[in-house]
Amino acid sequence: MSRTARQLWVALTSISLLASGCAPQQPFYFFEDGDLSHYVGAIQKLEYPDSCEEPLAESAGTNEPLMLSNARFDQIWELSLEEAIRTALENGKVLRNLGGRFQSFGGPRPQTGEPAVSLLTAPTATPTIYDPAIAETDPFRGVESALALFDAQLSSSLTWERQNRPQNIGGFIGTSVFQQQFLGDTGNWTTGIQKRTATGATVGVSNTTLYDNNNSPIRQDGVPSTFTTNYDFTLSQPLLQGAGVTYNRIAGPDPFDNIYGRPLFRGVLLARINADISLAEFEAGVRNLVSDTEQSYWELYFAYRNLESRKAGRDSSLEAWRKVHALYVEQSRGGEADKEAQAREQYFFFRSEVEQALTDVYRCENRLRFMMGISASDGRLIRPADEPTTARISFDWQQSLVEALSRSAELRRQKWVIKQKELELTAAKNMVLPRLDLVGRWRFLGMGQELINQNYAAYNANGNDPLNGTDAYSTLLSGQFQEWQAGGQFLMPLGFRRELATVRNYQLQLARERARLQDEELEASHALVEAVRNVDTNFALAQTNFNRRVAAERQVDAVQAAYDAGTVTLDQLLDAQRRRAEAESSYARAVVDYNRSISSLHFRKGSLLEYNGVFLAEGPWPGKAYFDAHRRARQRDASLYLNYGHSRPGVFSRGSITQNFQSIGADTPVTQLPPRDPATKADYDEKKAPPAPGTTPGQDTRPGVPEMLPSPRPAAAGA
C-alpha cells in the first residue's frame, strides 16, 4: 500500500471512530432473523402468587371511617368489658397486640395515635392459637417425632441377577464360560424388622433367602439350582456411652447422626419440654390480648369522658361569648373589643379541644375494634357500657409477690428452659464415657433344592445325594445348622476433647439460663412494686381530682355570680371555666388510670386471666380419637403389668398450674371514694345525699361518678 493510500485509510478510520463515539457496538451476524422471543431481559420480577385466598369479610367490607367530616353512624353499640374480651378471644386466632408491652402500666398510655402494625412488620413474632399444636407436631423436635426414633423399622429388598462371564479354565475341570441358566438365575430376598429400645439396645430379626442356578461343574449332579434361607436374631446393647433409659429419653438415639456433626439432643423429654414452652408462650399471648383489650376499653371510656368535659367547656365559653358579643354590639360596658376577642378565643380554643377529643374517641374506638378482631367501621359506634370502679381495692403484698414469682408465664417458660438445659447437661456427661457395646447374633440356616415342597425332606449330610428332593425350610426347621456370634465393640477417643467441650458448653448454657431467671425474677418484683405503687397513686389522684372537680365547679358558680354583679373581670370567668374543664378531664383520667392499674397489677402477678374469667383448656378432639384412645386403654388394662420403676426417669414436671377464682390476691373492696381532704362538712354531706329522683337506692349519683355519657352526635363535630 502506498503512502497516500495509507494516509487515506487512517483518515477514514479516524472519521468512522469519531462518528461512532466511545459507545460499545453490537456485533454483526449474517444469519440473524430478528426473533429474540427467547431472550429474558430480567432475572427477577415482582409478581403475584397464584392464590385463591379470599379476603376477610370484616376487612373487605369496611365502611368509610368515622372522622370529623364524616360523623354519621347508624347506631350506638353499648359494649360491656366482658363482651369485648369474649369477642377478642373468639376472633383471636392470631393473638393481636398494640405493638409493644409497657414496663409500667398506669404511666405510659396505650396507643391512641398511629395504628398497630406489628403483624405487618413482624408477622412471625406474633403468637397464634396454632403455635402449641405446631410445636407438638414438629417433624424434627416434636413429641411424636422423638417417639418415632424408637419405632420398629421394617425393611425389605428383592434383587435378581444373571451372569454370563468367560473364565480362564483349561483341561477337563469345567466350562470356560460361567453361566447362570434360565431367567433370573440369582435371586436375593432380604426382609427384616429392627427396633431400638429405651435402654439404647437395638434388637432385630431378619430373613435372607438366596436362589442360585448356574453351570458350575462342582455342583451335585442333577441339582443345578439351590435355595438357601436363614433367620438372624441380633442384639446390640450399649454398656457405657448411650446406655440407660434416662439418656435415651433425653438425647434420643445417635445424637451425632446429623448434618451438623455436633450433638443434637432431641429425645422425648426435651420434645415434651418444647411443647410446655410453647404452651407458656401461648398463655402469655392470650394474657397480652386480654390486657390490651381491657386497656383499650378503658381508654375509650376516658375518651368519651374527656369529650364530655370539653363539650361542657365549649358550651359555657359559647354562652359567655354570646353575652359579651351582645354587649359589644350595643357598645355597653363589659363589651369592649378586647373582652369580646378574649371570649371568642376561649370558645374556639374549646371547640378545637372538642374536635380533637372527638377524633380521639374515633381512634380509641378503632383500637378496641382491632383488639376485638372486627371491622374497623361497620356503621356502629362502640360505647363502653361498664363504669370503672371507684372502690379502694387492697392487695396483700406478700401473697401478690408469691403469685408474681410463681405464676408468671415468662418465669415459668424460663424455668422450663432451665430444666431443658439440665437434662441436656445430663446427656452430655454420658458422652464422656467410652463406647462399649455388647453385640450378639444367632442364626438358623437352611438349604435345599427347592424353597418349600411337599416332601418336607431336610438336607442329609450323611447321604450320597444330600440335596435331591430337599427344601430349604425343612432343613432350617430341623435345626441341624445353627450359628452364633457374641462379642464386644470398644471405641474411645484419646482425650475426649469434643465430649468435654460439650459438657462445658452445656454447663455454661445452664449457668446463663439460671442467671437470666434470677434477673427476670428481679425484674418481675420491680414491675410488681411499680404496679402496686400505681394502684395506690392513682386512687389518691382520683380522690384529689374529685375534690378538685367539686372545687372547680363551685368556683365557676361563684365567679359567674361575681361577674354578673360586675365585681370580677371576664378573664377570671374564662379562666375558671377552663379550670373546670381541666378538672373534669383530670378526674376521669385518674379514675381510668386507677382501673388500668388494677388490671396491670393482676397482669404482673399472673392472675389477669382469672380476673377476667378466662380459662385455658385443650379443645375437644375428634370422636375417632376418643374411640381409639379408649380401645388402647382397655388393651393396656388387659395386658400383663410389668414394673418399670427401675428404668423411669427422674421427675421433671410438678403438674399443671391452678386456675381458679378463689385466690387472686385481692381483699374485699372497702369504702367508696371519700374526699381526701374535705374542706367543709357540706362537701362530705353532698356525697352522702339520698338517691336522686328516678334512681334506685344504692346507685352512685355523686359528681365523681357521672352517669353514662350520651353518644357524640354528628352535631358535635360541627359545633
What is the DSSP code string of 121-165?
H-GGGS-BTTHHHHHHT-TTTSHHHHHHTTS-EEEEEEEEE--EE
State the pLDDT confidence band at 677, using cuts at 50, 70 and 90.
very low
Asked if residue 394 is part of any domain, the answer here is yes
Residue 459 has pLDDT above 60, yes or no: yes
Residues 301 and 160 in one domain: no
| Alpha-carbon distances, residue 170 vs 68, 218, 219, 402, 681 (angstroms) | 111, 15, 18, 96, 135
State the pLDDT confidence band at 261, using cuts at 50, 70 and 90.
low
Residues 470 and 425 in one domain: no
In terms of pLDDT, which residue wins out, 354 or 688? 354
Residue 601 has pLDDT above 90, yes or no: yes
C-beta contacts of 222-228 below 8 A and 24+ residues apart: 222/465, 222/468, 223/449, 223/467, 223/468, 224/181, 225/181, 225/449, 226/447, 226/448, 226/449, 226/467, 227/447, 227/448, 227/449, 227/450, 227/451, 227/471, 227/472, 228/445, 228/446, 228/447, 228/472
Residue 69 has pLDDT above 60, yes or no: yes
CATH code, domain carrying 612:
1.20.1600.10
Residue-averaged pLDDT of the chain? 80
Residue 559 has pLDDT above 50, yes or no: yes
In terms of pLDDT, which residue wins out, 578 or 102? 578
Residue 256 has pLDDT above 80, yes or no: no
Asked if residue 46 is part of any domain, the answer here is no
Reported as type and span, the H/E element at residue 301 is: helix 268-330
How many other β-carbons are positioned within 10 Å of the β-carbon of residue 192? 17
Burial (CB < 10 A; 0-12, 13-18, 19+), residue 354, is buried
Q: What's the rounded Cα separation, in Å, for the pair 548 and 91? A: 42
- The predicted model gives 637-665 an average pLDDT of 61
Residue 388 has pLDDT above 80, yes or no: yes
Residues 531 and 567 in one domain: yes
Rounded to 5 degrees, what are φ and ψ at 380? -115, 150
Asked if residue 85 is part of any domain, the answer here is yes
In this prediction, residue 688 carries a pLDDT of 33
List the single range of 212-216, 385-389, 401-405, 407-411 with lowest mean pLDDT: 212-216
- The predicted model gives 444-451 an average pLDDT of 88
- The predicted model gives 232-250 an average pLDDT of 91
State the pLDDT confidence band at 444, using cuts at 50, 70 and 90.
very high
According to DSSP, the β-strands at 380-384 and 75-79 are parallel
SS3 content of the chain, % helix, strand, coil (to 5): 45, 15, 40
pLDDT tens, 20-54?
A: 555 677 787 878 887 877 777 777 777 778 777 78
In this prediction, residue 653 carries a pLDDT of 72
In this prediction, residue 244 carries a pLDDT of 87
In this prediction, residue 215 carries a pLDDT of 60
In this prediction, residue 305 carries a pLDDT of 93
Q: What's the rounded Cα separation, in Å, for the pair 513 and 415? A: 8
Provide the percentage of residues in the chain whose pLDDT is more than 70. Answer: 77
In terms of pLDDT, which residue wins out, 250 or 39? 250
| Alpha-carbon distances, residue 349 vs 213, 306, 308, 313, 346 (angstroms) | 108, 15, 15, 10, 5
In this prediction, residue 177 carries a pLDDT of 54
In this prediction, residue 219 carries a pLDDT of 64
Among residues 425, 457, 491, the one where a domain terminates is 491
CB within 8 Å of 327: residues ≥ 6 apart: 333, 334, 335, 340
Q: Are 441 and 485 in contact (CB under 8 A)?
A: yes
Residues 430 and 440 in one domain: no
In terms of pLDDT, which residue wins out, 513 or 632? 513
Residues 352 and 275 in one domain: yes
Residues 427 and 450 in one domain: no
Helices (H), 408-496: 409-430, 472-478
pLDDT tens, 122-153?
A: 788 888 888 888 998 888 888 888 888 888 99
Q: What's the rounded Cα separation, in Å, for the pair 296 and 291? A: 9
Residue 704 has pLDDT above 80, yes or no: no
Residue 158 has pLDDT above 60, yes or no: yes
Is 0.85 surpassed by the pTM of this model?
Answer: no
Residues 412 and 465 in one domain: no
- The predicted model gives 618-645 an average pLDDT of 77
In this prediction, residue 19 carries a pLDDT of 55
Tell me the CB-side half-sphere exposure of residue 338, using CA atoms within 13 A: 3
State the pLDDT confidence band at 286, using cuts at 50, 70 and 90.
very high
Partners of residue 179 on adjacent β-strands: 164
State the pLDDT confidence band at 641, using cuts at 50, 70 and 90.
low
Asked if residue 252 is part of any domain, the answer here is no
In this prediction, residue 680 carries a pLDDT of 34
In this prediction, residue 26 carries a pLDDT of 77
The CA-to-CA distance between both ends of the chain, in Å, stands at 100
Residue 420 has pLDDT above 80, yes or no: yes
- Residue 125's domain comprises 79-142+267-434+499-647+666-719
Residue 247 has pLDDT above 80, yes or no: yes
Return the C-alpha cell found at 301.
371510656
3-state SS, residue 191: strand
The single-letter DSSP state of residue 447 is E
Residues 451 and 577 in one domain: no
Tell me the CB-side half-sphere exposure of residue 551, using CA atoms within 13 A: 15
Q: Are 202 and 184 in contact (CB under 8 A)?
A: no
Q: What's the rounded Cα separation, in Å, for the pair 655 and 648? A: 17
State the pLDDT confidence band at 712, using cuts at 50, 70 and 90.
very low
3-state SS, one letter per residue, for 599-617: HHHHHHCCCHHHHCCCCCC
State the pLDDT confidence band at 708, using cuts at 50, 70 and 90.
very low
State the pLDDT confidence band at 700, using cuts at 50, 70 and 90.
very low
Residue 605 has pLDDT above 50, yes or no: yes
State the pLDDT confidence band at 171, using cuts at 50, 70 and 90.
low
Asked if residue 513 is part of any domain, the answer here is yes
Asked if residue 21 is part of any domain, the answer here is no
Residues 137 and 221 in one domain: no
Asked if residue 620 is part of any domain, the answer here is yes
- Closest alpha carbon to 551 in 440, 373, 678: 678
Provide the percentage of residues in the chain whose pLDDT is more than 90. Answer: 36
Asked if residue 351 is part of any domain, the answer here is yes
Q: What's the rounded Cα separation, in Å, for the pair 598 and 393? A: 8
Among residues 456, 473, 491, the one where a domain terminates is 491
Residue 258 has pLDDT above 80, yes or no: no
Residues 324 and 353 in one domain: yes
List the single range of 202-211, 390-399, 451-460, 670-679 with lowest mean pLDDT: 670-679
Q: What's the rounded Cα separation, in Å, for the pair 306 and 584? A: 8
Residues 157 and 274 in one domain: no
Residues 544 and 640 in one domain: yes
Q: What's the rounded Cα separation, in Å, for the pair 141 and 563? A: 79
Q: Structural domain tally of the chain?
A: 2
